Amino acid sequence: MRTKEPFTPAEYVERYAPGSSFVDVGGMWGINGEYSFKAERAGATRVVLVDIDRTAEFDRKLDEAQSKIEFVKADATEATLLDEIGTFDVVWCAGLLYHVPDPLGLIENLRRICKQWLILESLVIPEMPGWPNMATFYPYQPPRYRRRWDTSTKGGASRQLGADNLQETGGAGHRGMGRADSTARASLLAAIAAGCLTESEAA
């Protein structure tokens, strides 16, 4: 697992998508499938976007580009995902891990649909010194505590973890948990222990 990335997200797509099948898991909100379109333009052989939501802007872009991207409406944490979409050379999953209450279940599912490369991106919360593997459940936090996680006023990822996510108290996209980097690493190790990933795959 690498935490200091040498590439931008777009560079990752350009590097891994050409000649490969590519699935973009959770690629809709705020970005309208942009990484799927990048993968298609970069020469991916098949591109699927899996999300619980579909936007009009995504459909507009689909028409405009005369794109062959397949949209599959599905919950990426459901065990049926593999049967629904099959396997892919490249699994791209950005900004989703902190949305789901069961991160390990999501990682296990991503592993099942992944033939070669899993590119997993997530915001993390700060480490608490002396308390590794911390996590916080966002829904129903009192407003003054919820605001701590809103990075939009600090030049942070307002698009991904903005006020909407923090003000909602439930719903499919809003049952998320913030995790420290050590917690995300521990989730990958737990996936290894469960036999879903090998150590070299998580390296």
Stretch that binds ligand SAM, among 47-55, 60-68, 108-116, 134-142 (CB under 6 A): 47-55
The residues pairing with 50 across neighbouring beta strands, listed in sequence order, are 25, 72
* Member of 69, 173, 179, 188 binding ligand SAM (CB under 6 A): 173
Rounded distance, CA 64 to CA 37, Å?
Answer: 11
* Residue 156 within binding range of ligand SAM, rule CB under 6 A: no
E strand spans, the chain: 21-25, 46-51, 70-73, 88-94, 114-121, 135-137, 177-179
Q: Tell me, what amino acid is at 94?
A: A
Question: How far, in Å, are 17, 27, 67 from residue 7 at the CA level?
Answer: 14, 19, 26
* Residue 69 within binding range of ligand SAM, rule CB under 6 A: no
Residues 104-123 that bind ligand SAM (CB under 6 A): none
Rounded (10°) CA dihedral 165, 166, 169, 171: 10
Q: Please identify, using beta-carbon distances, which residue of 102 and 193 lies nearer to ligand SAM.
A: 102
* Member of 49, 62, 94, 166 binding ligand SAM (CB under 6 A): 94
* Residue 95 within binding range of ligand SAM, rule CB under 6 A: yes
The footprint of ligand SAM (CB under 6 A) covers 26-31, 50-53, 75-77, 94-96, 99-100, 160, 172-173
